[in-house]
Structures are given as structure tokens and as C-alpha cells.
Chain A
Amino acid sequence: MENLRYELSTTKPAGGTRAVALVGVVASGNLEVLLERGEAADRCVIDIATPAHGFADLWQAVTADFAARSAAGGLRITINDGGARPDTVALRLAQGVRLMEKPE
């Protein structure tokens, strides 16, 4: 298991009022993303636990794009990866942010 952490500055604060959201499942080729509030409004912290070693540059690229494009400010995100492809990771992160915006 490889553990990675990214502390990113963001462009937009997270919307909605929901305290926590969970999307995806830990399964082969999939991942579980837990989103919580609690960081400063202009930053996002992402912790990743992945069984696939040696993909830090890809995680760096996916999370950097996510922080730049999405309303992710103030979020603390924990990822349990099951060896997902980067397109799946990007989709789950986008889904997580949308879920935080939805009323419970």
C-alpha cells in the first residue's frame, strides 16, 4: 500500500451544507472517496491509500486538475483506491463534490 498526501490551493469553495459525502466503493478498478469539511476555504487536502505503487505523478496530475477545476475549497478528501484508472478517479472526485452540494 502506498500513501500519498496532496495539499492543494483551490479556486472555488465547496458548495452546499452537507457535512460528509461518500461515493464509489473499494473494488478492483474502482475507488471510495470520502469528503468532509474542515479545511480553510481556499485549500483542499487529499489523502490517498493505493495498492498500486509508482503512480504518484498521475495522482499529482489528477488531483491538481481537480483542485483547479472543481469547487473543492475547504474539503478534506480521503481516497481508498482499488487500482482505479485516472478517468475513474476524476469522475469520482467530480461526483463527490456534486454530492456535497446536494441537500441531504
Chain B
Amino acid sequence: MRDWNTKGRDRQARLDAGRHFAAGKIVAAHDLVAFLEAVLRPGDRVCLEGDNQKQADLLAKALAKADPAKIHDLHMVQSGVVLPEHLDIFETGIARRLDFSYSGPQSARIARMMFGGQIELGAVHTYLELFARYFIDLTPQVALIAAVSADKDGNLYTGPNTEDTPTVVEATSFGKGLVIAQVGEIVDRVPRVDIPADQVHFVVNAQRPFYVEPLFTRDPAAITETQILTAMLAIKGLYAPYGVRRLNHGIGFNTAAIELLLPTFGERLGLKGKVCTHWALNPHPTLIPAIESGWVEQIHCFGSEVGMEDYMRARPDIFFTGPDGSLRSNRAFCQTAGLYACDMFIGSTLQIDLAGNSSTVTGGRVAGFGGAPNMGSDARGRRHPSAPWLRAGEEADPDGTPALRRGRKLVVQIGETFGDGNAPMFVERLGALELADKLHLDLAPVMVYGDDVTHIVTEEGIANLLLCRDKDEREQAIRGVAGYTEVGRARDRKMVERLRERKVIQRPEDLGIDPLDADRGLLVAHSIKDLMIASGGLYRPPSRFRNW
């Protein structure tokens, strides 16, 4: 007769093995390596919680110290490959296979290790895609997660950086896997229950907070006049005519400039209350002045941001906060919100080709995707109408039957024609293709596919790809905003002028934008200190951003 509970029995065996090292659910930090060796099995699928921001750093260090003779060939399924230990375990043979989403700080090393054969790559995912696979074919047998505090029963408080934890725990715990949490302290009563105790099997007291990276802080002092010009183009040429109220911003300087122009340039255009009211957004400090001047109604967050905790606590109408008063972020829900409930994604990129495909792969770096491809894609399952979505759909298919015509999400790529180190943003061939060749990947790592992109904004103007009727028009529309890059200079000037007459391309002068406004004086805040002052002292910038 078939045994219908092999997974449950497997977990019970791990629980029994782990209890030798635990008092109740609590494992002492000095026993952690031996404990992990007792509960892990070679070949296990393991989620070592590395989120966009918070890291289960104590558990990562302990896993890296395990004996590869006992624990080897693990299959790591985690969204962020961020800490050195996340890759050290592949060098020692503790881990072999990797499915992930984002590898920012480790992007060069991960590429080297993939090329050297030390990492067997499953796939690079978007966040939502990897989370989805946790419930289908990549369910972890063991999850090593991070929280702020636990009570003795194992109820967890994750604080503002809830991020991926509920998703990882849901898949692991109900999939009969083992959940092990590191916490900063054990308390009598947690401020709020983010993860219920019956989903948590062991807790280790790290006696210090988990590591968090401030990823979304952009210093207004570093914003250039060209970025201000692109931001004005976006506000006047896209936000205003489409009436974009529900949106997501990327984390670059161009979108930071947009946030800092809302209370000045946006106010002058009379857009307050008409655009940018509802957001799927990390807590960007550069949005503080717009929030304070009444532009924003509501923000749901993927994660938190270092220094923004007290500010968000003091603005509960705007942010999703718990009974304890602090932010509750949730990456899976916010990604879903960005996919289905936002009418626009706008973000920067490093390379765009002639079809509009964009990629952040340059040189030998595999930075992964994070959330941008999910936000920066049209949700084919969307069914609710909104004015911007319907208008974009009509522009793409003016002759279609209105009641049967899909709307389109506005997917906007914004940047200067030349980026850091004078690297051109427009290229004939994406660097991602070379990487795919070199690593024998089936798919080149494309951040946003050309057929999802609706607009490209540079200092030279806006290209509306929805209005392009064939491949040639599309190519010339892209060349027509590519400035003095080689791609831009190879444009068909006559065709570009015809596209401009049809408003496929709009220049700053076509939109009545005065180049003299492209001045840092137009930014509502000029420094991190200004943001702190705008918050009434509630925003507490991390020390590395305090230069006064």
C-alpha cells in the first residue's frame, strides 16, 4: 500500500534530529552548525532567505561552515544572492544548483562561478515567478529565514522588512518542509504576529538585528540637469495626458527626479490629485516632499528602507501598518499589485536595442532581474478598465472593437542617452546576448521585452512605441530619441521627422518644455538633509548619506 505521508514523516525525522539541539524551539547560536548538519540532507532544496534587503546572515554563515562531507549538493532556491556566503557554499560543494532572482552585489562573482561550472544554474527569475515556483516545482524542504523577534512559542515579528518571509514560510511549512528562523531577540510577547508559531519549527537567537541594505535612497544632490529634463518630459508628456494615478517607479535617479518635481513642476501643471495618487513602491525617501504636500493617497511596499521606519509609522493613512504601528511590507503581494493594479511602470535601464528590448547585463555580470520584468510587463490576465490602460490599448489598436480590445499597461524606459562612463544606452546588440552565448543559456537575460515597452524617454524626447505600425517605424522611433549615440546618429532623418509629425516622437519643444527649467532649482529638495527636514525630522538617513 502506498504511504501517503512520506513528506510529513521526513519532516518529523528532521524535527526529531533537531530537538537534540533545542530547548523547545530555541536553538543556541553556538550549536547552529551542528544543528544544521542534523536537519539538512544532501540534495535538499533550501531557501536561505536572502531578500532584496534583509538577509538571514547568521544562518548563511552557519551553513557555510557546515561539513561538505555531510551536507552537499544542496539546491538553493532564494530570491536574493547578496552575501558572500551565498556563493561560498557553491565553492565548497555544500550547494550545487541555484534558482534565484537578483544578485546585485554578487553579480560579477556569480557570472564567474557559472562560467567556471561551480554553479549549476536552474534559471534567473523575477520575484513573483520564483515565488510561484515555490508552490509548484521548487518547494523548499528547508527554509532558513530572518525576523526581528520571536516569542518562546515561535511566533515571529518581522518588523517593516517583512518582504519575502510569509511567502517562503507558506510554501515551506505547508509543503511539509522545515522552517528555521534567526531572530534579533526572544521576547515575552511579539509586537505583532507576522508569522504564526505553528508554521515555525526552530528559532535561533542571533542577539543582533539581521543585515539590511539601504537600496532605495537616492541623494537629490546627485541628480543632473539632464535627468531633470527627462523627468519633466515624463510628467508633462506621459503622466499628464494619460492621467496616471496608479503606478510603480524604479529605483534610478530619473524616477527620483520625477518624485522631486511633483511638488514644483507637477504643481505648476495642476496635476496634484490627478496623477501619482496610488503606488506600489518601496519607501523612497525622495517621495517624502510629495507625500507631505498631499499628492499621495496610498502606498503599498515591497520592502522597507533604512531610516524611513519612524516616518512611515507617523503616516499610517499613507502606508500599510500593523497594530504595532510599523510598516508591513510584502514582496509577493506588492509585486502582484504592481502587475495587476498599476497602470504604469517607469524605470531606468542600461541598454536598449533597436526592437526596444532592454537589459541591465553589461560586461560579465549576471545581476538578475528582481521585480522589474514583472512590473515592466503587460498583465495579460487583467480585466478591469482604467482610463490610462484603455487609452494605451486604443493607441496600439485604433481600429479594434472597443469592447473587445485589451488595454495596455504603460511600460516606460527612461534614461539619458549616455550613462555612466559615457556608455551609450542604445545599442545594436544587447550585451545580454554575449553573456547567453558564453554561458550557453537558452534565454538571454532580457529585463523588459520590446513588445512590452510602450514608451522610451530620453533627454531628446519621448518615443511612443504604441503608435508605431511596423518594425521599421519602431526602429526609427527608437533611433529618433537615441541622441548622439551611434544608434541615434544612424537614424533616417526624414522618417524621424514624419514620426514627429504623428507625435510618435515628441521633443521637449513640442511639449512646451523650457530648457531653462532643467535646473536643479526645480527640485523640491536638493539634499538628503532637505528630505530629512521635509519629513519633520522623522526620516533618519543612514550615516553614509549624512554628509553635513
Contact = CB atoms under 8 A, between A and B. Distances in A.
Interface in A78-96: 85-88, 90-91, 94-95
Nearest to A65: B484
A72 B489 CA distance: 22
Contacts of B460: 87, 90
B57 interface: no
A16 to B, nearest CB: 12
A22 interface: no
B417 A87 contact: yes
B484 A86 contact: yes
A87 B516 contact: no
B484 A91 contact: no
Interface string B478-520: 0000011000010000000000000000001100001110100
Nearest to A89: B484
A85 B422 contact: yes
B514 A91 contact: no
Contact of A91 (B422, B509, B515): B515
B225 interface: yes
Interface residues of B, number: 20
A99 interface: yes
Contact of A98 (B422, B489, B515): B515
Q: Considering residues B224, B508, B516, B518, which has the most beta carbons from chain A within 10 angstroms of its beta carbon? A: B516
A61 interface: yes
A46 interface: no
A91 B459 contact: yes
Contacts of A88: 224-226
B449 interface: no
A67 to B, nearest CB: 15
B418 interface: yes
Contacts of A98: 514-516
A87 B489 contact: no
A83 to B, nearest CB: 9
Q: Considering residues A87, A94, A95, which has the most beta carbons from chain B within 10 angstroms of its beta carbon? A: A87
A61 B485 CA distance: 11
A58 interface: yes
Nearest to B225: A91
B418 A99 contact: no
Contacts of A91: 225-226, 229, 459, 515, 518
A61 B489 contact: yes
B459 A95 contact: no
Given A87-B416, A87-B460, A94 B484 contact: no
A87 B518 contact: no
A72 to B, nearest CB: 13
A95 B489 contact: no
A26 interface: no
A34 interface: no
Contacts of B225: 88, 91
A58 B515 CA distance: 21
A95 B516 contact: yes
Contacts of B229: 91
Nearest to B416: A87
Nearest to B489: A61
B484 A99 contact: no
Interface in A31-87: 58, 61-62, 69, 85-87
Q: Considering residues B225, B418, B508, B514, which has the most beta carbons from chain A within 10 angstroms of its beta carbon? A: B225
B518 A85 contact: no
Contact of A87 (B226, B509, B514): B226
Q: Considering residues B416, B422, B515, which has the most beta carbons from chain A within 10 angstroms of its beta carbon? A: B515
Interface of A: 58, 61-62, 69, 85-88, 90-91, 94-95, 98-99, 102
Top 10 A-B residue pairs of the complex, sorted by shortest distance between their CB atoms: A86-B484, A94-B515, A95-B515, A85-B418, A87-B459, A98-B516, A87-B226, A95-B516, A87-B483, A87-B417
12 contacts: A61-B489, A69-B509, A86-B417, A87-B417, A87-B459, A87-B483, A87-B484, A88-B224, A91-B225, A95-B516, A95-B518, A99-B516
Given A87-B226, A91-B226, 17 more contacts: A69-B509, A85-B416, A86-B483, A87-B416, A87-B417, A87-B458, A87-B459, A87-B460, A87-B484, A88-B225, A91-B459, A91-B515, A91-B518, A94-B508, A95-B518, A98-B516, A99-B516
